[in-house]
Amino acid sequence: MEFLKIQNYNTLMKSIVLLLLCVVHVNAQVTLPSRQDGFWYKNRIANTESILIEAFFDPLCPDSRDSWPPLKLALQHYGSRLSLVVHPFSLPYHDNAFISSRALHIGNQLNTSATYRLLESFFDHQMWNQSLMLGSG
């Protein structure tokens, strides 16, 4: 008989917790940021007649470096029909990637016209030891 009381008590407590979880209002919506994150290329902010390209670059990633020249060519070719915003995205396996991304933010705060020159400087001065590359034996 004692066992049934304990089992009923556990069932009752579980039911009460479940009921409370159903009744409690949870607000999980996040408000939109007041301004868009990232760096606009040549201050060409997107409008309704242009295509917006959003690129997520790690300043120390060789793949980001390799994708930058073709992206610049597309921007030059299509002109005002394209808008670009680059979001710094620090990958965890690139040493100092977070610091270089912060440097881009600081540079953008000081002089918005120098942001992309700094990004290209990071790309131009990447040095990689082939034996440290991922996937190499």
Structural domain contains residue 44: yes
What's the whole-number mean pLDDT along residues 22-37? 68
Per-chain mean pLDDT for the chain:
81
Phi and psi based region of residue 42 (left: phi greater than 0; alpha: psi -120 to 50; beta: remaining): left
**pLDDT at position 38:** 87
The H or E element spanning position 22 is: helix 2-23
Structural domain contains residue 118: yes
Model confidence pLDDT, tens digit, residues 64-107: 999 999 999 999 998 888 989 999 988 888 888 899 999 999 99
12 pLDDT band, cuts 50/70/90, is confident
Taking residue 93's Cβ as centre, other Cβ atoms within 10 Å add up to 9
| Count of structural domains, the chain | 1
- Residues 133 and 63 sit within 8 Å (Cβ to Cβ): no
Domain around 68:
39-127
Which neighbouring-strand residues pair with 88? 57
Instruction: Identify the burial level of 47 via C-beta atoms within 10 angstroms of its C-beta, where 0-12 means exposed, 13-18 middle and 19 or more buried.
Output: exposed
Structural domain contains residue 19: no
27 has pLDDT over 70: no
